[in-house]
Structure 1
Amino acid sequence: MTHGRWCGDGSRRTAIVAAVLAGVLALTGGCTGSRDPGSSRDGRGFQPGADGVGDPYFPRYGNGGYDVASYALKLRYDPADDRLSGTAAITATATEDLSRFNLDLAGLTVAGVSVDGRRAEFRHEETELVVTPERGLARDGRFTVEVTYDGVPKPIDSPDLGEGGFMATSDGAIALGQPESASTWFPVNDHPTDKASYEIAITVPQGLSALSNGVPGERTTADGWTTWHWSERTPMASYLATLVIGDYRVRDGSHDGKPLVTAIAASLPEGGSAEVSLNRTGEIADFLATRFGPYPFDSYGGVAVSDRRIGYALETQSRPVYGPAFFTSGPNDSVVAHELAHQWFGDSVSIRRWSDLWLNEGFASYAEWLWAEHDGKGTAQREFERVYATTDWSKPALDPGRSALFGRPVYQRGALAVHALRRTVGDEAFFRILRTWTAEKRNANVVTADLVTVAERVAGRSLRPFFDAWLTGTTAPPPPPPVS
């Protein structure tokens, strides 16, 4: 990828000379001095931020050089022509002396960029928006970048991971996907390691709903358009941000003193399986809180969509989104338990690299077993025995490879490891490990070694060989006997 350059010799010049120099630079692309454009008055050289965080599976996801604190998005979407227009105000702190930095943005047209209210140079190529501020950004300094953009968003289609991102529907749109989706509808540092708060205002034609994450705000209507406001103040990974626009039956309620907002696509049966399942959201969340610790966010909810391209459910923070296939055979509490468990495992406690995804999916899959047992539909031990007997132990749960990121071992072998841990240390220590993990690592990013450390400390014994055998060993470990 080619990046633009801005160069200066650091001397004071008159406005006329500066204008002439600017013209020369535009024609030649050259520099008149050797210092970086962002060089500070004390002589420090400022450098460009990295165009990726270096994740082993997705090296170009995210960007280096800054840490985002918050996103404030003002969006307008018209399903008549699928056009999205928006302004994103991103507040961040520089983690190094920056001459320029990158944001991830795919398939949209940028009209202008400013940094701290001053116009900034930018170049947008493929999925990288390269921003060069008027002057360098000093390490530990806070800054705000504002990006104005519009266009017809498109999803991202990966040959091994499938389609995700912003998808137009017959009555609106759905922005959803893992591991990548946010960059298709707003400029972002698109990696779980840079969690931030969100304020989202979405203007849509009157009569349509516009759902997103967090606590609902006011809804205002003028000139045939309605603006919906949402606020997610607890730090959120970018792939967990969602936008669902269309004809929905929205139910505004509360649970445990917090908003509980559910939405069902109008084309799904009223009082049908999806509605019955989502109506148990508060009940299931309360049960999981007895096992995992207090619910970590300021709102609850869920959205059931009808577009069959969404063949999955995703734990979008505080308000999971469910594809229609989960409810074709009747109510499905299991998928609700899975996505709600992610609010603790994946959303509140987030992975530092994608190769540790089992930390999200193994615990969420195990939550299905816990809920089924609580609801009188079998036992966790019986489900463990069934899955154990059908597991391919040559395929690891930890570090499965990019193409197998969403494969069965990450989910089911991960759940086996969780139950085996329970049998190894006993219920009292096991649930104390889970509650300690969710409390100590709340809002943090983690790797598997962090879990091992917490588990060993709480259990008072070495567990590294145990985790190695259950997560990456190539032969079936013997099932541990129950602790008496």
Structure 2
Amino acid sequence: MRKRTRVYAAGVATSLAAVLTATTASAAPAPGTPGVGDPYYPGDGNGGYDVIHYDIRLTYEPGTDHLSGTTTILATPTAELSSFNLDFALDVESVRVNNRPARVDRDPADPTEVVVTPAAELAPGEPMTVVVRYADTPSEVEVNGFTAWKRTDTGALAVDEPHVAEWWYPSNDHPTDKATYDVSVAVPDDVAALSNGVLTGQSKTRAGWTRWNWRSAEPQATYLTFLAVGDYDVRSSTTPSGLPSLNAYDAGLGEIRPAAEASVERTPEVVEFLEELFGPYPFEAQGGVVTHGLGFALETQTRSVYDAGFFSRGSNMSVVVHENAHQWFGDSVSLGAWSDIWLNEGFASYAEFLWSEHAGEGTAAELAQYLYDSIPADDPFWQVLPGDPGAENQFHAAVYDRGALAAHALRTTVGDEVFVEILRTWLDTYRGTHATLDDFVALAEELSGTQLDEVFDTWLFTKGKPEVGPNGASADSAARTTAVTEPESFREISFTHEQLAKRH
């Protein structure tokens, strides 16, 4: 099955290349495509241009949920364009392209597709500046019956995966087009406006209002940007490695607050541990935000966001490890298509196993065997394929847990030294860009000198419980041995699935 997936992915890439080549070769300018052809979300992203930078300047009123502002997009056309699309769901007031007013239309088949026709045709390779003014009430805007914008008691959260940008800024919304960001948000003095990267400053804009300014200097995917407005206790410090660290805690956490702090304040320690495995931390800042009303945790770049429920039983280092492992797997090296989600979740989940071993709470081998033994063969869990789960199962527990077992099976097959070499080479080679599962398999086979179809087919692309466990023992032999005692940290790891619907 993995081989068929490879052919399909290659077919998509070939067809996209053909479209771009035909567009470039054409004598007449043509519209940019309304999507990049992602197998799960074909309408995501837009063809014909590459975004370099987003400058997002907003004003938000928590009491009315009114959001207004301007996003300036610096981009480069990759083809001669008569028009191009932006992914955006809010009401657009005006668009200017290269300082001239442009015509704006909505695609009637997809309300998130904003079609922009500039006053003059756009030449490939020539920089373009797009200025979009807009205003709306994001919580009232639904796309297919859903809104990713979440109002809270004191503000709002623009945090979600795979889509969130459409509810607060226009973009080329696909992980294959990463950019740098400046985010500036004016809010009432009694609330904070939090986002990614480094806080470059706060300034009073008028009586009762403060503007918060953030900068992300490393390439960032659209779904990894976030905005959190509300009553937060914001704590700034410097990590032992010299990076700025900013953590924020919802003022309403109550008795959960100490457990949240006992976990999130250890982020620099977690990063140091992960650097030993994955190589240097890829970004300019660290931190975390703990809030209410989210329902999951997400690896928003440089500063993960956690729902308070993760800490309702006490400290929870597994979720902090998971989201920070994503800073390498998913944030620095982004997926080439949403069907490649295992590259993000499998290794972030396996990092939890490795932290458990580091903390003396059960080895990775013990956790892998316990997890394998604890799920019956007839459980529907084994019918979801981590290597291509489908959009409907993209965040299924199997993508995380069977994905972690796949990572451990790879480790046991190639050995520890080669396993670490594969991970570090992968992260170094594709840092700041994106890559596919096929790219990972090819690299793993090259560095190990081993044909790995059996490992990847078994754990990622074959339905049913594998007959051989992640540590290499057959299911029958595992059943005949003395039952493995539940590792201490396994309750913490499984809790993240039981208590909350998603752990990204």
**TM-score normalized with structure 1 length:** 0.87
Shift of 1:413: 1.0
SS state of the match for residue 130, structure 1?
strand
Root mean square deviation of aligned Cα: 1.9
* Deviation digits for residues 55-83 of structure 1 (CA, Å, limit 9, x no counterpart): 11111111111110110000100112110
The answer for the alignment partner of 1:87 in structure 2 is: 70
Q: Which residue of 2 aligns with 1:19?
A: none
Match of 1:182 in 2: 165
Deviation, 1:306, is: 1.7
Contact 2:384 2:393 in 1 (8 A): no
Q: Does 1:196 align with 2:182?
A: no
- By relative contact order (CA 8 Å, sep 6+), the higher-ranking structure is 2
1:130 counterpart letter in structure 2: V
Question: Match for 1:304 among 282, 290, 301?
Answer: 290
What amino acid maps onto 2:269 in structure 1? E
Q: Residue 210 of structure 1 aligns to a residue in which SS?
A: strand
> Is the counterpart of residue 459 in structure 1 residue 448 in structure 2?
yes
Map Cα deviations across residues 321-354 of structure 1 (whole Å, 9 max, x no partner): 0012101111111000000000000000100111
State the alpha-carbon separation in 1 of the partners of residues 343 and 29 from structure 2.
Answer: 37
Partner of 1:295: 281
Match of 1:447 in 2: 436
Task: Output the amino acid matched with 1:216.
Answer: L
Give the whole-Å Cα distance in 2 for the aligned partners of 1:190 and 1:156: 17
- How has the CA–CA distance of structure 1 residues 481 and 339 changed in structure 2, closer, same or farther, with 3 Å as cutoff? closer
Alpha-carbon shift at residue 479 of structure 1 (Å): 3.2
CA drift of 1:467 comes to 1.1
2:341 to 341, 357, 378: 357
Once the 2 structures are TM-superposed, how far is the Cα of residue 469 of structure 1 from its aligned partner? 1.6
SS of 2:372's equivalent in the other structure is helix
Instruction: Report the Cα offset of residue 157 of structure 1.
Output: 6.6
Could you tell me how far apart the structure 1 residues matched to 2:126 and 2:136 are? 32
Is 1:241 the equivalent of 2:222? no
1:395 alignment partner in structure 2: 384
Distance in 1 between residues matched to 2:75 and 2:117, nearest whole Å = 15
Tell me the distance in 1 between the aligned counterparts of 2:68 and 2:367.
Answer: 48
Aligned to 1:20: none
**Deviations for 1:69-104, whole angstroms, at most 9, x for unmatched residues?**
110000100112110001000011111111000101
- Tell me which amino acid in the other structure corresponds to 1:435: R
Query: For residues 166 and 393 of structure 1, what CA distance do their matches in structure 2 show?
Result: 33
Whether the 8 Å contact between 2:339 and 2:390 is mirrored in structure 1 is: yes
Asked if the contact 1:305/1:323 (under 8 Å) is kept, the reply is yes
Question: Which amino acid letter does the alignment assign opposite residue 190 of structure 2?
Answer: G
Larger deviation, residues 394-403 vs 328-337: 394-403
- Among 321, 338, 343, the alignment partner of 1:337 is 321
The 5-angstrom pairing of residues 141-160 of structure 1 reads: 141-154=126-139
State the secondary structure of the residue aligned to 1:154. Answer: helix
Q: Which moved further from structure 2: 388-397 or 111-120? A: 388-397
Does the CA-based 8 Å contact 1:366-1:419 persist in structure 2? Answer: yes
Contact in 1 for aligned 2:165/2:223 (Cα 8 Å): yes
Q: Report the CA distance shift for 1:298/1:155 in structure 2 as closer, same or farther (over 3 A).
A: farther
Contact 1:68 1:90 in 2 (8 A): yes
Per the TM alignment, residue 123 of structure 1 is displaced from its structure 2 partner at its CA by: 1.4
Alignment of 1:200-215 (within 5 A): 200-215=183-198
Q: Take 2:141 and 2:400, find their aligned partners in 1: how far apart are those partners? A: 24
Aligned mate of 2:405, from 396, 416, 423:
416
Mapped pair 1:128 → 2:113: yes
93, 111, 116: which one pairs with 2:98? 116
Give the greater-gyration-radius structure (CA).
1
AA partner of residue 307 (structure 2): G
Alpha-carbon distance change, 380 to 156 in structure 1, aligned in 2, over 3 angstroms: farther
Q: Partner letter of residue 123 of structure 2?
A: A
Cα contact 1:164–1:178 (8 A) shared by 2: no
Q: 1: distance between equivalents of 2:335 and 2:441?
A: 14
Query: What residue in structure 1 maps to residue 368 of structure 2?
Result: 384
Corresponding residue number in structure 1 for 2:269: 283
| Residue 76 in structure 1 maps to residue 59 in structure 2 | yes
Contact 1:397 1:410 in 2 (8 A): yes
- What is the aligned partner in structure 1 of residue 148 from structure 2? 165
Cα offset for 1:478? 1.5
The answer to whether the 8 Å contact 2:365/2:471 transfers is: no
Match of 2:330 in 1: 346
Aligned residue number for residue 34 of structure 1: none
* Aligned counterparts of 1:206 and 1:119: Cα–Cα separation in 2: 35
Q: How many residues align?
A: 437
Counterpart-to-counterpart distance in 1, 2:472 and 2:135: 58
Tell me, yes or no, if structure 1 residue 257 matches structure 2 residue 205.
no
Q: Percent identity?
A: 48
- Indicate whether 1:55 and 2:45 are aligned: no
Tell me whether 1:479 sits opposite 2:469 in the alignment. Answer: yes
Give CA-to-partner distance per residue, 1:396-428, whole Å, 9 cap, x none. Answer: 111111111110121111100100111111111
Whether contact under 8 Å (1:163, 1:177) holds in the other structure is no
CA distance in 1, matches of 2:77, 2:200: 31
After superposition, the Cα gap between the structure-2 partners of 1:254 and 1:99, relative to the gap in structure 1 and judged at 3 Å, is same
Matched with 2:8 is none
Partner of 1:266: 251
State how 1:309-320 maps to structure 2 within 5 Å.
310-320=294-304
Shift of 1:164: 5.4
Q: Which moved more, 1:62-71 or 1:386-395?
A: 386-395
Once residues 86 and 264 of structure 1 are traced to their aligned partners in structure 2, the CA distance between those partners, rounded to angstroms, is 27
Q: In the TM superposition, what is the alpha-carbon distance from 1:393 to its structure 2 partner?
A: 3.2
Looking at structure 2, the residues matched to 456 and 103 of structure 1 have their Cα atoms a distance apart, in angstroms, of 39
Preserved contact between residue 243 and residue 284 of structure 2 (Cα < 8 Å): yes
Q: 5+ residue gaps in structure 2?
A: 1-24, 474-504
Q: Does residue 370 of structure 1 match 2:354? A: yes
Provide closer, same or farther for how the CA distance between residues 62 and 481 of structure 1 changes in structure 2, counting only shifts above 3 A.
Answer: closer
8 Å Cα contact 1:47-1:98 kept in structure 2: yes
Unmatched 5+ residue regions in structure 1?
1-41
Instruction: Report the TM-score when normalising by structure 2.
Output: 0.84
Query: Does the 8 A contact of 2:369 with 2:471 survive in 1?
Result: no
Report the AA paired with residue 259 of structure 2: S
Aligned to 2:212: 228
Instruction: Decide whether the 8 Å contact of 1:164 with 1:177 is kept in 2.
Output: no
List structure 1 runs of 4+ shifted beyond 4 angstroms: 155-159, 480-483
Q: What secondary structure sits across from 2:40 in the alignment? A: coil
Residue 184 of structure 2 aligns to a residue whose secondary structure is strand
CA drift at 1:163 = 5.5
Q: In structure 2, how many angstroms separate the alpha carbons of the residues matched to 1:470 and 1:455?
A: 15
